[in-house]
């Protein structure tokens, strides 16, 4: 079985700066971490490998420093790390990210399953997984909280919904996105971390995928983030004075004035 895990490097800090012209995140020189949801995706792939055997590719599109999250994934049990990095991939929105990743995946060849995290903690859109499945024209199931059974040509999973859970059957090859309820990611051993340090990561640039420059990076991104800001929370406090009855009366008037029901 061939499994591909999509792994994103995200800022490990809230002190994120954005480019004033493009409104994209400035990713250079800030602490970066493995996207927390992708740790669950890696763990689930490794558990499938342990149960029935598999070769796991980890693929990431990002700056050269994103090599580090692939090393972390190697230490956790994936078999091969692929980093898609090129100036012509920079500033991508979800559409361009999904397209670029699809080209990297086509380069790998046939596969059975792609696992993504539910969402990335920076862009936070949860769009890349479904968009990637659409681009590759394969089945997609989001918010998977348990893989019940996986066979050569199909898998049964539990999907979290607003009302509870749905049990679904998916034909392979397919893409799933996973939520944190799916497992408890393991910690890497010292030995596996040392081996991962020395492992070779495949670097894939624009010329390796030979694709349309109008579909990658900022040029291939129809989304424009117009403004990025931290919302200001305004909290007003008013003190209610008087006797107990007066306070209760004023409080009920106040609550009614903001549309709340008073019984």
Ligand X SMILES: Cc1cc2nc3c(=O)[nH]c(=O)nc-3n(C[C@H](O)[C@H](O)[C@H](O)COP(=O)(O)OP(=O)(O)OC[C@H]3O[C@@H](n4cnc5c(N)ncnc54)[C@H](O)[C@@H]3O)c2cc1C
Binding stretches for ligand X (CB under 6 A): 6-8, 25, 35, 37-38, 41, 60-62, 92-94, 97, 101, 116-117, 119-120, 122-129, 223, 225, 228
Contacts of 250 (CB under 8 A, 6+ apart): 240, 242
Looking at the Cβ atoms of 232 and 258, the one nearer to ligand X is 232
Residue 197 C-beta: closest distance to ligand X, Å: 21
Looking at the Cβ atoms of 212 and 246, the one nearer to ligand X is 212
Looking at the Cβ atoms of 230 and 258, the one nearer to ligand X is 230
d(CA 60, CA 92): 13
Residue 259 C-beta: closest distance to ligand X, Å: 31
CB-closest chain residue to ligand X: 123
Quick one: tokens of 11? 């800022």
d(CA 93, CA 96): 5
Helix axes 67-76, 36-52, angle to 10 degrees: 40
Residue 91 C-beta: closest distance to ligand X, Å: 8
Looking at the Cβ atoms of 107 and 250, the one nearer to ligand X is 107
Residue 72 C-beta: closest distance to ligand X, Å: 14
Three-state DSSP class for 191? helix
CB 74 within 8 A of CB 48: no
Three-state DSSP class for 54? coil
For β-strands 113-117 and 174-178, DSSP reports them as: parallel
Residue 152 C-beta: closest distance to ligand X, Å: 24
Looking at the Cβ atoms of 30 and 250, the one nearer to ligand X is 30
d(CA 221, CA 95): 7
């Amino acid at each position: 079985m061939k499994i591909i895990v999509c792994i994103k490097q995200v800022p490990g800090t809230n002190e994120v700066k954005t480019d004033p012209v493009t409104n994209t995140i400035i990713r250079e020189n800030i602490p970066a971490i493995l996207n927390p949801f992708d740790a669950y995706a890696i763990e689930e792939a490794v558990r499938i490998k342990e149960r029935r055997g598999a070769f796991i590719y980890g693929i990431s599109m990002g700056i050269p420093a994103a090599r580090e999250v692939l090393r972390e994934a190697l230490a956790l049990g994936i078999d091969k790390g692929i980093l898609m990095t090129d100036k012509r991939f920079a500033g991508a929105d979800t559409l361009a990210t999904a397209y670029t990743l699809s080209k990297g995946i086509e380069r790998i060849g046939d596969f059975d399953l792609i696992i993504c995290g539910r969402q990335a903690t920076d862009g936070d859109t949860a769009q890349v997984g479904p968009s990637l499945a659409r681009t590759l024209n394969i089945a997609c199931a989001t918010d998977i909280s348990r893989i019940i059974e996986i066979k050569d040509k199909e898998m049964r999973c539990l999907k979290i919904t607003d009302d509870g859970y749905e049990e679904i059957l998916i034909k392979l090859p397919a893409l799933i996105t996973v939520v944190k309820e799916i497992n408890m990611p393991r910690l890497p051993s010292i030995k596996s971390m040392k081996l991962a340090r020395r492992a070779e990561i495949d670097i894939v640039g624009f010329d390796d995928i030979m694709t349309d420059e109008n579909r990658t990076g900022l040029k291939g991104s129809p989304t424009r983030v117009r403004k990025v800001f931290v919302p200001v929370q305004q909290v007003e406090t008013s003190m209610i004075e008087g006797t107990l009855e007066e306070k209760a009366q004023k409080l009920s008037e106040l609550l009614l004035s903001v549309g709340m029901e008073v019984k």
